[in-house]
Amino acid sequence: MSDFNILHNPRCSKSRQTLALLQENGIEPTIIEYLKTPPSEKELSAIIKNLGVSPRDVLRKKEAEYKEAGLDNQELTDKQVINLMVQYPKVIERPIVFNDKAAAVGRPPENVLNIIK
């Protein structure tokens, strides 16, 4: 199976719990601190496709940047939403564990067990 990556925020308890769960299961993912190094539009599009959801399903709607970026505009296309997510990475739900074939949001952390087993 492909190596795993995690879009990680070390200040987030769910992100830390998900990383610990991966490590307990023998997986040392590549840690991407997405607030420092946001994914590209292409990378984020691929992750969202592997999640099998719409971009809006992985938005943190309570972040100030959500409104600041105009993401509350329901007329934005998926491509526009993804572009704004790249520009405002704080609005990306965390953590997301992924490889080139699968992805899962670690809320709750146990969700990632579905893609690593």
Place of tokens 């971009």: 55
Q: Which of 6, 12, 58, 79 is catalytic?
A: 12
Concerning whether 42 is annotated as a catalytic residue, the answer is no
Report the Cα 101 to chain-centroid distance in Å: 15
What one-character-per-residue DSSP string does 15-34 give? Answer: HHHHHHHHHHTT--PEEEET
Torsion angle, alpha carbons of 13, 15, 19, 24, to 10: 50
Q: Which residues are catalytic?
A: 12
